[in-house]
C-alpha cells in the first residue's frame, strides 16, 4: 500500500488501483454523514477533486492520486457513509481506477513513512 499526505491509501489489485481514506483520516473527520462519489468512466488528473466527504466536524475533498480512469465506485457508501468510520482500510474504499502511469505511485509514502508522518 501507498499513502498520500492527504491521508488517502492506494492498493494495487491486478491492473487497478483501489483508493480510500486512512483510519487516521476517518478518526479526524468524526462521524461521516455524506459522501459524493465520482461516476465510473470519469477520466481524472492527479490532484483533481473526485469525491466529497462530509462529517459532523468538517467537509473534505478526496483528490485523484493518479492520472487515469475511474472504473468502479463503491456505491453502497452513498447510502451508508458511516462505513467509512467502521472499515476505512478495507470495505469502505471509494473507487477503483485504471492508472495511466503507475510510476506516479512512487511519489507516495509506504506504511512506515506514513506512520511517522502522522506520528
What structural domains and CATH numbers belong to the chain? 2-102 (2.40.50.100)
pLDDT of residue 5: 96
pLDDT of residue 22: 96
Q: pLDDT tier at 24 (50, 70, 90 boundaries)?
A: very high
Q: Are 5 and 117 in contact (CB under 8 A)?
A: yes
What average pLDDT does range 5-20 have in this prediction?
96
pLDDT of residue 21: 96
pTM of the model: 0.94
Strands (E), the chain: 2-3, 8-13, 16-21, 32-36, 43-44, 49-55, 59-63, 68-73, 95-99
What is the DSSP secondary structure assignment for residue 38, as one 8-state letter?
P
Per-residue pLDDT of 29-45, as tens digits, reads 999 999 999 999 999 99
What average pLDDT does range 94-112 have in this prediction?
96
Amino acid at each position: 500500500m501507498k499513502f498520500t499526505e492527504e491521508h488517502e491509501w492506494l492498493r494495487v489489485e491486478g491492473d487497478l488501483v483501489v483508493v480510500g481514506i486512512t483510519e487516521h483520516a476517518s478518526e479526524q473527520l468524526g462521524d461521516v454523514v455524506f459522501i459524493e462519489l465520482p461516476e465510473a468512466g470519469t477520466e481524472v488528473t492527479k490532484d483533481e477533486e473526485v469525491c466529497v466527504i462530509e462529517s459532523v466536524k468538517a467537509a473534505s475533498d478526496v483528490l485523484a492520486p493518479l492520472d487515469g480512469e475511474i472504473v468502479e465506485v463503491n456505491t453502497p457508501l452513498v447510502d451508508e457513509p458511516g462505513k467509512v468510520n467502521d472499515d476505512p482500510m478495507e470495505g469502505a474504499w471509494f473507487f477503483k481506477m485504471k492508472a495511466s502511469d503507475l510510476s506516479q505511485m512512487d511519489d507516495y509514502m509506504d506504511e512506515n513513512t506514513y506512520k511517522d508522518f502522522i506520528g
